[in-house]
């Protein structure tokens, strides 16, 4: 009881921090507009700050809302669980694993473990959906499937990516439910089906998603795990209470009849997000169960993380355009405003993180060189329009400190690690250009398969030149900021120099991650 009270007080402090940060940014932006009215250039910079503050403020408020609801989600799911009735009849289930040129040993290990699920064997079938183009992998997986009683389905064309493989499967299957697992996920709780299927007693439930996590590995891979855990710990529970939970592609169960009524999976690069939206559009319910039943292979290299984030952001940008095209129909169905906001935030979320970070950095550089800062001043002079540059720079340093504190505080409270919280901050900066590139590619409707190209071998060490080629945009941007920071020092602008040099360090983390982790 004492621990719960302590966590409640800490949660209130986190919420208060975000509220104060948002209010301060908005008020100060208006103040900058007032001070900058005497100079058109300063006024333009102040307007840009206001726009960034409004966007950041919206996402901060959404974060507070999601965080508050996530704190109480445990009680919500506990009450729901009490209403469940144990299974008296066992529906038929297809356990499905889509693969594409994956490590055959991991595929075999994962599927073998899935075959140990606690469930009547006569009501359970296993399927390996192999889109591999490597003949050696195909032959090995086909041989494994034949010897282990797994149904092997191979496609000659990879049309529709993972969604195409799943749509091809549902045309051939007769099972009532489909449990989906990725090739690298290892089942750790064999009660997966017995625990989750009772939720489907409500005939309107189309899918259930569980929490996805990675096995422990290096400090880097554990930080990446925390990176994703923020979504499953704080965003997914809040969305589930609005019936907008996201099917995350695996570690979940889908009612086949519901999927058929939707016309199958929309064939996009992130089919799971589109499917989740279509489920809502068809007035089905969705549910998120915050429990880990299987752990995935740790992401050990920066290249692998970058490719993952490229795919996510490409798909999220596609989804944003898809959602906007169907917004009128969505509103006609009398969906709540929070449902609309959930989908908008999901589609714009990573774009927001990357674009706002880069734009705020560029704006910071503009501010530093608006006018020469005084070498010394009185605190009272900071409210004078004459010293607006120094005032904005102090605000920037304060915002920077706050941006560090936010993920670190959340990580410390909920994951017991300040260091990993700081790593989450660095990862956001190091991935900004990757995400921005993906968003532009999606908007231009370019081929998603021609995306991220940093192919690093996890067993190899890369030299300076290889690393420079792999992180060229981030390294050049960081170098420019470093030069501008030194220039600010030359003109005696210490606050501006600190501001820009910190940003240079943050973006340079992409170079460091690639060099150290590959």
Give the number of other CB atoms < 10 A from CB of residue 214: 21
Token reading at 194: 């017995």
pLDDT in tens, the chain (518 residues): 333 334 556 566 666 766 766 666 666 666 666 666 666 766 777 777 777 777 777 777 777 778 778 878 888 888 888 888 888 899 999 999 999 988 899 999 999 999 999 999 999 999 999 999 899 999 999 999 999 999 999 998 888 889 999 999 999 899 999 999 999 999 999 999 999 999 999 999 999 999 999 999 899 999 889 888 888 988 899 899 888 999 999 999 999 999 999 999 999 888 889 999 999 999 999 999 999 999 999 998 898 898 888 888 898 999 988 988 888 887 777 777 888 888 888 887 766 667 777 887 887 787 777 654 444 444 444 445 455 555 555 565 555 566 556 667 667 666 777 788 888 888 888 998 988 888 888 888 876 654 444 444 444 556 888 888 888 899 999 999 999 999 988 887 777 788 889 889 999 999 999 988 88
Q: Rounded to a whole number, what is the distance in angstroms from the first to the last CA of the chain?
A: 45
99: which strand partners? 130
pLDDT for the residue 416? 75
Instruction: Check: CB of residue 162 under 8 Å from CB of residue 132.
Output: no
**Structural fold of domain 86-300:** Spore Coat Polysaccharide Biosynthesis Protein SpsA; Chain A (3.90.550)
- 49, HSE (Cβ side, Cα atoms, 13 Å): 30
Let me know the angle formed at the C-alpha of 87 by 85 and 92, rounded to the nearest 5 degrees. Answer: 140
Residues 6+ apart with CB under 8 A from 92: 123, 124, 125, 174, 175, 176, 177
pLDDT for the residue 401? 60
pLDDT for the residue 377? 42
pLDDT for the residue 292? 96
234 DSSP 8-state letter: I
pLDDT for the residue 374? 42
pLDDT for the residue 439? 86
Residue 516 three-state SS: helix
The domains of the chain are located at 2-71+350-517, 86-300
Write phi, then psi, for 51 (nearest 5 degrees). -60, -45
Mode of pairing for the β-strands spanning 93-99 and 124-130: parallel
pLDDT for the residue 42? 67
374 DSSP 8-state letter: P
**For the purposes of burial, counting CB atoms within 10 Å of the CB of 171, is it exposed (0-12), middle (13-18) or buried (19 or more)?**
exposed
Distance CA 252, CA 196 (A): 9
Q: Chain centroid to CA 208: how far? A: 19
Distance CA 435, CA 305 (A): 11
pLDDT for the residue 454? 40
Distance CA 399, CA 9 (A): 24
Q: What is the pLDDT of residues 97-122, one digit of tens each?
A: 999 988 899 999 999 999 999 999 99
Residue with tokens 């090739």: 183
The dihedral of CA 51, 53, 57, 60: what is its sign?
Answer: positive
Instruction: Check: CB of residue 423 under 8 Å from CB of residue 223.
Output: yes
Give the number of other CB atoms < 10 A from CB of residue 190: 15
Instruction: Check: CB of residue 311 under 8 Å from CB of residue 319.
Output: no
Give the length of the chain.
518
pLDDT for the residue 128? 96
């Amino acid at each position: 009881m004492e621990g719960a009270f302590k966590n409640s007080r800490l949660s209130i402090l986190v919420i208060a921090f975000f509220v104060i940060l948002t209010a301060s940014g908005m008020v100060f932006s208006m103040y900058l507009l007032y001070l900058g009215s005497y100079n058109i250039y300063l006024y333009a910079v102040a307007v840009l700050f206001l726009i960034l503050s409004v966007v950041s403020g919206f996402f901060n408020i959404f974060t507070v809302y999601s965080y508050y609801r996530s704190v109480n989600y445990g009680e919500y799911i506990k009450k729901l669980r009490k209403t469940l009735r144990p299974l008296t009849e066992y529906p038929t289930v297809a356990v499905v694993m889509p693969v594409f040129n994956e490590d055959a040993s991991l595929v075999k290990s994962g599927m073998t473990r899935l075959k140990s699920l606690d469930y009547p064997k006569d009501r359970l079938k296993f399927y390996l959906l192999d889109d591999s183009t490597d003949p050696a992998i195909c032959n090995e997986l086909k041989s494994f499937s034949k010897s282990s009683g797994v149904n092997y389905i191979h496609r000659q064309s990879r049309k529709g990516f993972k969604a195409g493989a799943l749509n091809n499967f549902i045309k051939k299957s007769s099972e009532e439910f489909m449990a989906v697992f990725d090739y690298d996920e290892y089942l750790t709780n064999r009660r997966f089906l017995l625990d989750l299927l009772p939720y489907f007693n409500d005939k309107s439930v189309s899918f259930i998603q569980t929490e996805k996590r990675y096995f422990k590995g290096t400090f880097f891979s554990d930080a990446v795990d925390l990176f994703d855990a923020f979504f499953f710990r704080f965003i997914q529970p809040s969305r589930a209470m609005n019936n907008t939970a996201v099917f995350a592609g695996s570690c979940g169960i889908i009612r086949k009849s519901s999927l058929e009524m939707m016309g199958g999976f929309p064939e996009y690069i992130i089919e799971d997000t589109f499917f989740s939206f279509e489920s809502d559009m068809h007035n089905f319910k969705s549910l998120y169960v915050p429990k880990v039943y299987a752990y995935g292979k740790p992401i050990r290299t920066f290249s692998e993380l970058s490719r993952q984030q490229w795919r996510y952001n490409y798909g999220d940008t596609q989804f944003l355009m898809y959602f906007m095209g169907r917004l009128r129909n969505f509103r006609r169905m009398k969906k709540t405003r929070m449902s609309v906001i959930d989908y908008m935030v999901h589609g714009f979320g990573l774009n927001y993180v990357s674009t706002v970070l880069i734009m705020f950095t560029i704006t910071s550089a503009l501010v530093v060189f608006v006018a020469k800062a005084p070498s010394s001043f009185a605190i009272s002079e900071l409210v004078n329009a004459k010293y607006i540059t120094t005032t904005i720079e102090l605000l920037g340093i304060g915002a920077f400190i706050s941006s560090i504190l936010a993920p670190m505080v959340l990580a410390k409270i909920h994951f017991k690690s300040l260091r990993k919280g700081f790593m989450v901050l660095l990862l956001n900066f190091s991935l900004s250009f990757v995400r921005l590139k993906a968003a532009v590619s999606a908007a231009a409707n370019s081929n998603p398969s021609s995306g991220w190209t940093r192919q690093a071998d996890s067993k190899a060490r890369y030299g300076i030149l290889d690393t420079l080629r792999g992180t060229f945009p981030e390294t050049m941007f960081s170098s420019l900021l470093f030069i501008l920071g030194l220039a600010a020092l030359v003109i005696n602008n210490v606050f501006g120099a600190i501001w820009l040099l910190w940003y240079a360090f943050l973006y340079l983390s992409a170079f460091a991650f690639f060099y150290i982790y590959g």
